[in-house]
Structure 1
Amino acid sequence: MSGTTPGAADAAQPVEELPRADGPLTGQDQPATRSGIFLKELLRGSAVTTFLAIVLAMIVGGILIAITNEDVQEASGYFFARPGDTLVAAWHAITGGYEALFRGAVFNAKGNSFAAQIRPLTNSLGFAAPLIAAGLGVALAFRAGLFNIGARGQMLVGAMFAGLFAFNLDLPLWLHLPITLVAGIVGGALWGGLVGLLKAKTGAHEVILTIMLNYVAFYLLLWMLRTPGLLQAPGSNQPQSRPTPATAQFPDLLGPLFPSLDWGFVVVVLATVFVWWLIERSSLGMRLRALGENPHAARAAGMNVDRLYVYAMLFAGGLAGLAAMNQIQGNVTTGFAATIDAGIGFDAITVALLGRSRAWGTFAAGILFGALKAGSFSMQAQGIPVDIVLVVQSLIVLFIAAPPLLRAIFFLPKTDAEKAAKARDKAAKKAVTA
């Protein structure tokens, strides 16, 4: 057609559109698949964070083992001449240390019998029992919004009650054992309940109360252990109680070949089930969780907040008393001193934090720390300082308490809260520069 210009003809033809480009190079986000969403949520989860915290703590612990090893120190003197010797020595030191830890905590392949091979696992469970019980008490208080660092004092008062009310009885096993157990639990519960009552009536902070009551319990128990006729063993001038009566001791769970594991561990398992049911399934647990989330909202909803404080600390103290009974009815039966808590009251805070204040998480954390304690003796026999195990425990809690650090080290995806915080920071910077 002579009347049509070339430009008009080109405009009349349809324009072919190219497919839209997207992807990481274009700045366009691809739609997330189900598998991608699942993987991202898995990597953000607490289980992965906890596992990586343990791995990272073990790596740092391995570096400390290598640094303190004499062979590594000797080989490092000529590192630039033969660096391979230093690396080989470090490898042998680290693998030898952790092999000793495994051999002392889980399975001893060098044992001359099957009982000797699995005895380390029973030792770990025995060490874990009081840690789990005290950790459950701290975790339960955490869920109610209370920072209970008085498990030590509650353990000491539990031991005091058991010594006063149960050691002076002459009863058969089926009666003496539960009376001693109940006396210790009641003693710890009353000492913990005192904290809850003071907080409810006076508004005093539970951290200050528990710290002060730890000292009160320690010196009160020490005075009783030094006073004849109270808790001091007859015919002795040492601050130590009489041995635990045989009828008040937990029987061995698997027989005399495994003396570290007794029926106290079964009681702790039942206590874990009880705490899980109490917090997660009962109406009282629902109120305690609401108190922990927001006490003002709980009060506005008609809940008796003061009474809930007392309930939470009663349960927390009773569980710490159970930990004390695992000590004097199982682990330490030759008579207890004012140090019967053996640091368990403060280790319980670590166990509760690692278990994220959940009943079964605390149970697993207690077993882990019990295994570390049992394995530390085998490590020490190889010349490795036992303090390295304490460093590993502390690092685990440090990394658990700093999840952004773990995500940065292992390149894990950030949580929605972290993304929102980063976006707010960017917006604030833009507002300042504008």
Structure 2
Amino acid sequence: MFSNRLFNVLVPIISVLLGLIAGAIIMLAFGYNPIEGYIALWNGAFGSSYFFGETVRQATPYILTGLSVAFAFRSGLFNIGAEGQVFVGWLAAVWIGSSLDAPMFIHLPLTLIGAALAGAFWGFIPGLLKATKGVHEVIITIMMNYIALHFSNYMIRYVLTDGSDTTDRVLPSASLASEWLLEITSFSRMHWGILIALFAAVVVWFLLEKTTAGYELRSVGYNPHASRYAGMNVKKNIILSMVIAGALAGLGGAMAGLGTFGYMPTHSAFTNLGFDGIAVALLGGNAALGTVIAAFLFGVLKIGALNMPTAAGVPSELVEIVTALIIFFVASSYMIRWILLRFKKEEK
């Protein structure tokens, strides 16, 4: 039998391979060459400095939203609200970034803190309702996604501007974009936010694995009743988990506002950054390192797919099918693990 650690490493790798194989079979079934399709996918993600920069740029918010969902998972909570937390974090970052005039060493940290606090507040509400009233966090966070979408649109049109559908651009002192990165990546939209995302992953790993607070959060996630019996404050840890998860997703929104776009437009639909974060966290095994790797995989799939129609004639929708198949096999792996454990018990 595999150890838990080895199992957690092998499962995502096998799931990705099975997803790619299933995707190849689907391509063949529809008359496309899977080898040419995957070569086009690879070249579309890494074939030039521009594509590489875009892949890193796409992965950056995925790291943060994936960490948000994974952190809540480890605490026994399902944060479906990362999408709404992205919206309010994006809005707060652009608001502070475009309205405050200060040196970069003050302005940029303030925008990031503002985005994290906005996301944290959006996570605090479902956390408080869950802890005090027992309201399921999935229901509240789903509803708050829609509130965040329409609230941000209202703020853009009637508070930050006079009826415009986009905010002003953030000032250079609050921007994560870099002329140097633009030059070395052939004017891709890659920005310094990747360093913030990687630093956040290290912080999440350290908090969960090396601190007393992280132990309590994980303990509450495993068994809240036993944790309460052991003297832990379950309500406090539920709220703290959602606050931290919200802050991470809020920073994911800041990556779009301060780096990718430099402003915030109104939206008629969701960005899917938060929803994709659920898949990233699942594929990454709800671990910090696994989430980073999974985020880069999703970045490769999203950006590489853009090259498949032109280079190989394969519809980009097939990449979405491959992504869905990968998640399917990840979910199925838990069924396989359950079956193996049953066999192990029967042998005893």
TM (norm. structure 1) is: 0.74
Deviations 1:249-302 (A, max 9, x none): 103363533233221000111000000000000100000010010000001111
2:66–2:281 contact (8 Å) kept in structure 1: yes
Q: Provide the alpha-carbon RMSD of the alignment.
A: 2.4
CA distance in 1, matches of 2:112, 2:17: 38
2:41 to 101, 120, 136: 101
Secondary structure, aligned partner of 1:254: helix
Call closer, same or farther: CA 1:283–1:340 in 2, change over 3 Å. Answer: farther
Aligned partners of 1:145 and 1:293 also within 8 Å: yes
Q: CA deviation at 1:216?
A: 1.1
Indicate if the aligned counterparts of 2:54 and 2:189 stay in contact, CA closer than 8 A. Answer: yes
2:325 matched to 1:399? Answer: no
**Which residue matches 1:323?**
252
For the residues of structure 2 that align with 1:166 and 1:340, how far apart are their CA atoms? 24
Residue number in structure 1 paired with 2:232: 303
Q: Is the 8 A contact 1:327 1:340 kept in 2?
A: no
Q: Given that residues 324 and 340 in structure 1 are in contact (C-alpha distance below 8 angstroms), is that contact kept between their aligned partners in structure 2?
A: no
Quick check: 1:189–1:321 contact (8 Å CA) kept in 2?
A: yes
Deviation per CA, 1:112-152, whole angstroms, max 9, x where unpaired? Answer: xxxxx343223211110100001001000000000110001
Gaps of 5+ in 2: none
After superposition, residues 131-170 of structure 1 pair within 5 angstroms as 131-170=62-101
Match of 2:318 in 1: 388
Residue 405 of structure 1 deviates from its aligned partner by 6.9
> What residue is the counterpart of 1:418 in the other structure?
342
Which residue among 174, 180, 190 is the counterpart of 1:248?
174
How many residue pairs get matched? 344
Mapped contact 2:91–2:264 kept (Cα < 8 A): no
- 1:205–1:406: structure 2 CA closer, same or farther, 3 Å change rule? closer
Which residues of structure 1 form unaligned runs of 5+? 1-36, 73-89, 109-116, 408-412, 425-434
CA contact (8 A) 2:182 2:189 kept: no
Aligned to 2:165: 239
8 Å CA contact 1:352–1:362 kept in 2: the answer is yes
Question: Secondary structure at the residue paired with 2:99?
Answer: coil
Aligned to 2:115: 184
Tell me the TM-score normalized by structure 2: 0.92
Aligned to 2:184: 257
CA distance in 2, matches of 1:312, 1:214: 18
1:334/1:292 CA distance change after superposition, 3 Å: closer
Q: Deviations over 1:370-412 (max 9, x none)?
A: 11111011113233222111111111111011127778xxxxx
Return the alpha-carbon distance in structure 2 between the equivalents of residues 341 and 124 of structure 1: 21
Q: Does 1:218 align with 2:149?
A: yes
Query: Whose relative contact order is higher, 1 or 2, with alpha carbons under 8 Å and at least 6 apart?
Result: 2
**Structure 2 residue 13 is the aligned partner of structure 1 residue 51:** yes
Q: SS where residue 167 of structure 1 aligns?
A: helix
Within the candidate set 24, 29, 42, 1:67 is matched to 29
Change (3 A) 1:42 1:353: closer
Structure holding more helix per residue: 2
The 1:335/1:265 distance shift into structure 2, 3 A limit, reads same
Does residue 137 of structure 2 align to residue 206 of structure 1? yes
Q: Which residue of 1 aligns with 2:286?
A: 357
